[in-house]
Structures are given as structure tokens and as C-alpha cells.
Amino acid sequence: MQYCTLRNGRASAGKEQAVSYKKLGKRIQHAREEAGLSQEQLAAILGCSQPTLSNYEKGKSRIYLTQLQKVSEILNRPVQYFLEAMEPSEEERGQAYAAEISRSYLEEASSQMDKDILSILKILQELSPEARRTVYEFAQWEYHKSRRYGNNG
Amino acid sequence: MVNFALNNNQQSLIKSIRLLAPQLAQKEMEIDQHRSEAFDCSLVNELAKLNLLNPMVPPEFGGRGLNYFDYALLMEEIGAVSPGLAAVMIFNCHFISILDSIGTEEQKAQYLPVFTQQQPKLAAMALSEKNAGSDAGNMSTLAVKKNDHYLISGIKEYVTNGTNADYIVCFATLDPTRARSQMLALLVPGNAPGIRQGQLRKTMGIRYAHCTELIFDNVSVPAANLLGEEGNGYMIITQAIDRDKVLTGAIGVGIARAAFDMALAFAKDRKQFGRTIYENQAIAFELSKMAAQIEAARMVVWKASWLLDNNEDFTVAASIAKITGTTTAEEVVSKAMDIVGGRAYLEGHPLEKLYRDVKIFSNLEGTNHIQNAIITSLL
């Protein structure tokens, strides 16, 4: 059961998949141009229409594995050459690394921190900036209330 | 080009499940109530007898060779009576569709025929991990090539059919830092040494489908069991889910139809203030909206499956079918409960079970949020 959760901002995973297919498409375009073929020529060899190939190259349609294998044979490149394009860029990796560091920090801090505070921080990490702002405003309101009336106020 | 009249074979297919429907529904209700930790084979046995447990297996390997359109018709019927069984079938379908689309002739000849026998065979897909759900590229389960074998180590989460799968497609990576281009799919026997079952997950609904954690501890898999080539895994999984999510939409249509039928029958029978509640416009219009939603959802499922069968671009249509089928199901079940009233809230009422069952289908096969992201990226 692939319960796909929205952890760590992963709601964007569909977009990441789409970005991967766009990068793959660009690599097909690059390899096609290096081979000196037009879209019409490659499409004819592949047995698809020129607009279909154009959509593959733009990432507007997903090229499927069997079709990619044909492309790799025609353009004389290993399938792996195209698949490597789907890897995240250094910048994307950097963002993922920052998120990982922040998770590690929380895990490290867990031994020294009140469990309730830790839970709140973990939840905050999952929220959108707008939702974090709402939580912050509520926390401020609670803070001022407790200052004015004491903790039972 | 498009024909909405179902042919004789399609009508027979539907009829064969409708004959079984009361039996399937009752058995699944019993299993739901008892929450047994042992998997009950009786439901899958019934479908296996009709060679419908794995209906996409091609005829040359002993299967029915259903296309996606006919499979969607079947899943609407199964979804209407037994959503847990439908979920079990979806994961068998992943296995069959991956094997059939990229398996070698030797792999197909060895494994596809066993899925057509009356002694049912089940399959699972080991993909999700603690940090790799929708983002399969974040996978850490490692595959190390050693001579003519791969050694797999890692922990897989939420494996449906994981307690009793005869075969598993396990996704692992040769290099976790480049998981998308180094991922591979391996066909692993469910009883391979080194596979351990972790925690059996207790779920809110679809309790017939057992979902568990699977631990792969240095599991040795022959290189001959590699599906496709090294590095193909990411495409294999994203594309299998792309195809098969149409069937999740069809299950949603079935669930919605079952709830609607119950609400309609109740509304026409239940009398309050001297007339049936159906005679109240508020109820009648609610039912008409439900009927319209179900028909619309069915049409997008049919369209997506038609595109699949005709080798047309189906990615957006499949996401639309999945979202529409599953959200329609959630909305219609909820409205049906409103019409039937308090008795539908009682434990053991079919609508109470459907209300719990339906929720997971918006998450299966990529959440509906992910589907929206896929659609918007391709607009």
C-alpha cells in the first residue's frame, strides 16, 4: 500500500517527477540534435507523430520505458545517459540536505528538550509558512495572556 | 471510435461478479469485524476460480488477457462489494503489469502462468520506505551486485499483501545518492531467506488487505530476476503507478455506486411524515447529484482506460480518473450516510464500513495532491 504522505514538504513530489521528465526530455532533444536529426525524422523512425516527440522533449508527455529504449538505440546512447538527467541538481540536493540537517538537529536536541516542545517543533517543520505564522501569532497571544494573568489565566 | 455499449463479453464479466457479490460482501464484512491477523484466502479463492484474480495475464500464459477498459469494469464491480479485495488485486496488478511490460520472455514464461492457477498466488510491491513515499527517488534500500546475484538490504513500509505474497517486486538502489538513475526492480520470492515480516499495520478500513513492514536483510536474488535493466527502476515504478491508478478510480466509482444504491433504496422505503423521504425534494435532489457525480466519474475512468488500451497519452487522464473516482466515492458515501441517518453510523452497517474503507483510496497510487501536481505540470 503506497500511502504517500506529505512529509517534509513532499507534496511537491509530483512536480519533482514532472521536473525529472522535463530534464529527461531536454536530454533527448540534445542527443537528437547532436545526431543531426530533426524532430520529424526521429519521430518517423520511432513511429510516433512529431507533436508527440515534441511533447516528450518538453516534458509535456511522459515518455515510457519501451519508447526510451528505442530512442537510446536510434541515438546510439545508453538508456542510462537519459535516466541520469532525472537526478536532482546540486541546488535541489542542497535543499534536501538542509532539510535533513534540520531533522538531524531536532533528533539530536530531543535528548535535551522537553518532549512537548520537540513535538511542536516537528509539527512546525511540516507546516507551510502561512500556517507557521498562524501558530506563531497564537503562541504570542498565549504568551502575553500568561504574562498578564499568570499561567492559569 | 468510442462506443458506450458494452459487448457480450463485458456484460458477462460484470454478471459473473454480480452473482458472487452477496457472498463477497458478507465475507469481507465478517473479516472486517474480526480483524484476524491471519490472511483469509476465501475471497481471493473465489476470483481465482474464475481466473479473475489476475485478469491481465495474457492468454498465451493462461490468463484472461483483459485490457484496462475491461479491468476497470471489473474493478468497479469488486469495489462495489469488497473494497479490501479490490486493494489486494491492485497490488497483484502492479506485479503483473510490470512483468508483462518489461519482463523477458523467460521471466514471463516462468512467472505469469502461476498467477492463473486456481490456487491463488499473491504479489506485493516493496517500494515505500520511512523517507521514500511519493518521493521514490529518496530510497535507501541498497542492492549490491555480487557475481550473479544482488544482495538487498533495507526496510520497506506499507507493503500490501506483504504477509502472504508469493512474489514481491522489490525496488532498491545501487547508489542511494543517485537513486533515480541507479534504482532497480527485482523479482523476489516471498519466502526468500532474509525477508522478515515487521509490524502488521492495523488499518481503519480495507482490513481484508494486509499491510505490513518488510525487512530485507541481505536477501540474495539471482541477477536473472532483474526486471528491465539496472537503473530502470524509477521509470518502472512511476509508469506502473501511472497506468494502474486508473483502476483505483474505477474502485472509487464502485464504492460510490454501492453507497448510492443503499441510499436510494432507503429513501424510497423510509416513510416519515406520511410519505417516503424520497418525496422530499431535498433528498431527491441530493440523490440526483450523487447519480450525476458517479456517472461523470465513470466516464473519466472509461476515457483514461480507453487511452491506455489505445496507446494514447494517458498520464493526465489517468490522474483525473483517479482523483475524480476517489473523491466522488468519499463524497457519495458521506452523503449516503446523511440520507440513511443514524443507523448508518452503527458498527457493522455496510455504509459504516464503506466510510472507513473509502478514505485510503485518495492516498493509494500517489495521493490526490500528487495527482493534482502531475496534472498542473502537464497542462
- Tens digit of pLDDT per residue, chain A (153 long)? 444 333 333 334 555 666 688 889 999 999 999 999 999 999 999 999 999 999 999 988 888 888 899 999 999 999 889 988 888 776 666 665 555 555 555 556 555 566 777 778 778 877 877 788 888 888 888 877 777 776 544
Residue A15 touches chain B, beta carbons under 8 Å: yes
Q: Is the dihedral of CA B89, B95, B101, B103 positive or negative?
A: negative
Residues 61-100, chain B: which have Cβ within 8 Å of A?
87, 91
Are B245 and B366 in contact by the 8 Å Cβ rule? The answer is yes
User: Are B180 and A60 within 8 A, CB to CB?
Assistant: no
Mutate to test the interface with A, among B235, B319, B322, B363 (most CBs of A within 10 A): B235
What's the pLDDT tens digit per position in B164-211?
999 999 999 999 888 888 999 999 999 999 999 988 889 999 999 999
Task: Determine the 3-state secondary structure of B341 from DSSP.
Answer: helix
Residues 207-266, chain B: which have Cβ within 8 Å of A?
209, 211, 228-232, 234-236, 238-239, 241-242
User: Are B372 and A10 within 8 A, CB to CB?
Assistant: no
CB pairs under 8 A between A and B: 128
Q: Which residues of A touch B134 (CB under 8 A)?
A: 4-5, 10, 13-14
Q: Which residues of A touch B247 (CB under 8 A)?
A: none
Q: State the nearest Cα–Cα gap between B86 and chain A, in angstroms.
A: 12
User: Are B101 and A4 within 8 A, CB to CB?
Assistant: no
Q: Helices (DSSP H) in chain B: which residue ranges?
A: 8-34, 42-49, 68-81, 83-102, 105-111, 179-182, 233-269, 281-309, 315-340, 350-358, 368-378
Q: State the nearest Cα–Cα gap between A65 and chain B, in angstroms.
A: 7
What's the pLDDT tens digit per position in B15-56?
999 999 999 999 999 999 998 888 999 999 999 999 999 999
Residue B196's contacts (CB-CB under 8 Å, 6 or more residues apart) are B214, B215, B217
d(CA B89, CA B160): 10
Q: Which residues of B touch A86 (CB under 8 A)?
A: 137, 180-181, 234
Task: Determine the 3-state secondary structure of B212 from DSSP.
Answer: strand
* Pick from B230, B367, B377: CB nearest A4: B367
User: Are B373 and A60 within 8 A, CB to CB?
Assistant: no
Residue B34's contacts (CB-CB under 8 Å, 6 or more residues apart) are none
User: Are B180 and A16 within 8 A, CB to CB?
Assistant: no
Supply the residues of B annotated as catalytic.
365
* Cell numbers placing B297: 466519474
Residue B104 touches chain A, beta carbons under 8 Å: no
Residue A58 touches chain B, beta carbons under 8 Å: no
* Pick from A10, A14, A64: CB nearest B133: A10
- Of chain B, the percentage scoring pLDDT greater than 90 comes to 84
Q: Which residues of A touch B211 (CB under 8 A)?
A: 1
DSSP notation for B146-195: ETTEEEEEEEEEEEETTTT-SEEEEEEES-GGGHHHHEEEEEEETT-TTE
User: Are A79 and B231 within 8 A, CB to CB?
Assistant: yes
Q: Rounded to the nearest 10 degrees, how much is the dihedral formed by the CA atoms of B340, B345, B348, B353?
A: 90
Residue of A nearest to B176 (CA): A87
Residue of A nearest to B90 (CA): A1
Over its length of 379 residues, how does chain B's per-residue pLDDT go in tens digits? 678 899 999 999 999 999 999 999 999 999 999 988 889 999 999 999 999 999 999 999 999 999 999 999 999 999 999 999 999 999 999 999 999 999 999 999 999 999 998 778 999 999 989 877 667 777 889 999 999 999 999 999 999 999 999 999 999 999 988 888 899 999 999 999 999 998 888 999 999 999 999 999 999 999 999 999 999 999 999 889 989 899 999 999 999 999 999 999 999 999 999 999 999 999 999 999 999 999 999 999 999 999 999 988 899 999 999 999 999 999 999 999 999 999 999 999 999 999 999 999 999 888 899 999 889 888 8
* Pick from A3, A52, A83: CB nearest B133: A3
Run of H or E residues at A83 = helix A79-83
Q: Which residues of B touch A20 (CB under 8 A)?
A: 137, 180, 234
Question: What pLDDT, on the 0 to 100 scale, is given for residue B289?
Answer: 98
